[in-house]
A and B are shown apart, each in its own frame.
Chain A
Amino acid sequence: MSPPPLEIHDLTVAYHKKPVLWGVDLVVPPGKLVGIVGPNGAGKSTLIKAAMGLLPVSSGWVKVFGEPVAKNLRRVGYVPQRESVDWDFPVSVMDVVLMGRYGKLGLLKRPTKADHDKARECLDKVKMLPYANRQISNLSGGQQQRVFLARALAQESDLYFMDEPFSGVDAATESAIIALLHELRAAGKTLLVVHHDLPTARNYFDMLLLLNMRVVAFGPTEEVFNYETLQKTYGGRLTILSEVAEAVRVKG
């Protein structure tokens, strides 16, 4: 049997000796669309950053397709939070999407015509091709998110990490993104998506990872998405609990 796309063992991450993630164990099967949900400060972004080796870990290890993550970064795609970059930066939409090809290009090599074609194809998939030559600050929030997605597509990876791709986007972009995620899953890719909104989480994802510093639950959505585990994840936060109750009611 081929090794799983992502295997995390006893991962602990700390800022200034204060743990943010604690003893995370996780094995993600291939071809799944996995939502990572949990309250603010639960360590959702930290988990995917640590899984890619972007943060120093206090203990534990991460394997991607059976290899340490640093060796297999080419098979990993990443969509960071939209707010993590300066959108006034003097680059065009095309420039940003081409960055997705840099990992495969290696040092000193320039993007070739094939890379440009690939970037154009990815822009077309997110319906942003007409904007290819725009400077990125002239885009709406949803369009910026699509550009980031196109860049991740251009990475042609097998395992994707996405940090809140649905935050601050319009409804049209949200449904476009979800269609794209389904398409990727159909192509056999594995996707881990940090998600904020509980009611939609139930509909969007095959599997859910409920996180609050530790893994509260991980499994197929219909098994995990119930009042008990959600209460464990979110503690006594009433507003969210009522939202959850509503979501559970709709489901039942």
Chain B
Amino acid sequence: MNSRTNRTTVRLLYLLSSLLYLLFTTPAHAARIGDLSETSLWDQALRFLTFQDPSVRYALLGSMLLGISCGLLGSFLVVRKMALVGDALSHAVLPGVALGFLWNMSKDPVAIFIGATLAGLLGTAVVNLLKQTTPLKEDTALGLVLASFFAVGICLVTMIQRLPTGNKSGIDKFLFGQAAAIGAADVQLMAVVTGLVVVVIALFYKEFLVTSFDAGFARAVGLPVQAFHYGLMLLLAFAVVIALQAVGVVLVSAMLITPAAAAYLLTDRMHRMLLLAAVFGMAAGALGAFLSFLGNNLPTGPFMVLAATAVFAAAFLFGPRHGIVARWWRQRSRAARIQRENTLKAIYHVLEARNFQGEGVSFSELAERRRETEEEIQVQAAALARHELATLPGEADALFLTPAGWQTACAIVRNHRLWELYLTHTAQIAPDHVHEDAEKIEHVLGEDMVRELERRLNYATKDPHGKVIPGVPVMLETKPEATPGYGRSA
């Protein structure tokens, strides 16, 4: 873990510094965004992608920086099941933004930063207070703080807009976000905050990990769990506040939750989740800034959120392990394997019924045995042939097992009969109750478990119905597929 977390930190720092390099080295010439009004989509895209306009660079850098810090802190929110705390906190900063603005009636990044952070922290403190001193539950307390702080903020914002100087203040841009409004001072503040977030998480990674996973244990080893909780809240407030200008108060919580949730679906380790969430957040930020730049006066926040949602949807659907498609595919291939094994079993039964005389099994025999039509049998036979478990000589409507097919058929019948015997013998279940169970178990018994059963049953050779339990012919390659399921229960 030592070297792995270090590597993660190094990668993040590398990401950050390359962003800053981009900011300070690219030459600045060309008009500002607002200067041209009649431009085509293509021109706009080109202008954005060449980074000639400094405000484009600021917007892009700022969006990427906020994506990193939101992704990192959002990961902790998601694994701590505190996603909606992020939502409440991000709405609660609005009155702070307004008060910071009132400080000297301008969009001073530092004043707004301080005001908004204080309001956010006050909001989380009030949630705790409500939970402790009233019978209200957490969800109600969160909703209450979210909405009432927001209402106070709206009162203040509308009061500011009524002022002679307030109308062109751009404070309304804080509601839905306008990345184009990000200036050099904003980007510097964002870089400082993002750097702080990366460094703090890297330094206290193990403490954040254990307090998030098992707070009780963390306290029992003497860690100041509360301090880490409040530290996380403080960083979270910072991340929300630097994201405000580009994403807006209303949708900031999505930048916290969505990239982190997408990362959560793709990996099983916290340090990788942090890295992925930071990358996803950065990508969503950049894409959102780009898309909103294409239109005239479009808000940035919603585009970033949709970009993040697209990443989440991709992870949800196509994630290699937990994705819907992958799971559906696994289920399907398992069902297909069980189908093949059942056909093989039926072939074995047919052969057994004629005392293993003759090698070929005709489709009609098989159809009768399985109580299915010959067409269905043909499909199954084709599936067996595809997996080289049987051969289908063209002229006859019959199939012949390959050595591998014969081996699998024996193994399945053996599993079935062994399990029936085990149930009647050891678990004292009546012989006419065991078939259904064995129909399922036969497909999942692993080799080790079979050995164990054979040993426990004293290498019996007949099943409870008096039929022979086949041995499995020894061959070059053994089982066709690894058996999932076994090995999970100790």
Contact = CB atoms under 8 A, between A and B. Distances in A.
B489 A140 contact: yes
A90 B79 contact: yes
Contact of B490 (A80, A91, A170): A170
Contacts of B79: 86, 89-90
A105 B267 CA distance: 27
Interface in A122-164: 135, 138-140, 142-143, 146, 151, 155, 161
A64 B268 CA distance: 38
B210 interface: yes
A33 interface: no
A90 B273 contact: yes
Interface in A71-114: 73-74, 76, 78, 80, 84-86, 89-92, 94-96, 98-100, 102-103, 105, 107-108, 110-112
Contacts of A212: none
B1 A54 contact: no
Contact of A94 (B1, B272, B273): B1
Interface of A: 49, 52-54, 70, 73-74, 76, 78, 80, 84-86, 89-92, 94-96, 98-100, 102-103, 105, 107-108, 110-112, 116, 135, 138-140, 142-143, 146, 151, 155, 161, 170, 172-173
Contact of A90 (B5, B6, B267, B490): B267
B15 interface: no
Contact of A142 (B6, B212, B219, B490): B490
Contacts of A111: 1-2, 206
A140 B490 CA distance: 7
30 contacts: A73-B220, A73-B221, A73-B222, A78-B216, A78-B221, A85-B213, A89-B212, A89-B270, A90-B268, A90-B269, A90-B270, A90-B272, A90-B273, A95-B1, A95-B270, A99-B206, A99-B214, A103-B223, A107-B204, A110-B5, A111-B1, A116-B1, A138-B488, A139-B488, A142-B489, A142-B490, A143-B490, A146-B490, A155-B221, A170-B489
B269 A91 contact: yes
B81 interface: yes
B419 interface: no
Interface in B33-92: 79, 81
Interface in B275-302: none
Contacts of B216: 49, 54, 78, 80, 84
A78 B220 contact: yes
- A99, A112, A135 interface centre (most CB from chain B within 10 Å): A99
A92 B269 contact: yes
Interface of B: 1-2, 5-6, 79, 81, 203-204, 206-207, 209-210, 212-214, 216-223, 264, 267-270, 272-273, 488-490
Contacts of B219: 52-54
B227 to A, nearest CB: 11
B489 A92 contact: no
A7 B2 CA distance: 38
A91 B213 contact: yes
Nearest to B216: A80
Nearest to B221: A103
Contacts of B221: 73-74, 78, 99-100, 102-103, 155
Contact of B2 (A86, A102, A112): A112
B488 A90 contact: no
A51 to B, nearest CB: 10
Contact of A86 (B81, B206, B220): B81
Nearest to A89: B213
Given A91-B269, A92-B269, A102 B206 contact: yes
A186 to B, nearest CB: 24
A141 B32 CA distance: 61
Contacts of B1: 94-95, 98, 110-111, 116
A172 B490 contact: yes
A40 B45 CA distance: 67
Contacts of A90: 79, 264, 267-270, 272-273
B489 A99 contact: no
Contact of A108 (B81, B203, B220, B268): B203
A76 B222 CA distance: 10
A112 B219 CA distance: 22
Given A102-B223, A142-B490, A80 B270 contact: no
A140 B81 contact: no
Contacts of B206: 99, 102, 105, 110-111
4 closest Cβ contacts across the A-B interface?
A: A103-B221, A135-B268, A78-B220, A73-B222
A91 B222 contact: no
Given A74-B222, A108-B203, 20 more contacts: A52-B219, A76-B220, A78-B220, A80-B214, A89-B270, A91-B213, A91-B269, A95-B209, A96-B213, A99-B221, A100-B221, A102-B206, A102-B218, A102-B221, A105-B206, A107-B204, A107-B207, A110-B1, A111-B206, A138-B488
Contacts of B269: 90-92, 95, 135
A146 B81 CA distance: 25
A103 B79 CA distance: 22
Contacts of A80: 214, 216-217, 220
A84 B212 CA distance: 12
B490 A110 contact: no
Nearest to A112: B2
B213 A102 contact: no
Nearest to B272: A90
A91 B209 contact: yes
Contacts of A105: 206
Nearest to B270: A90
B222 A99 contact: no
Given A111-B206, A138-B488, A172-B490, A54 B214 contact: no
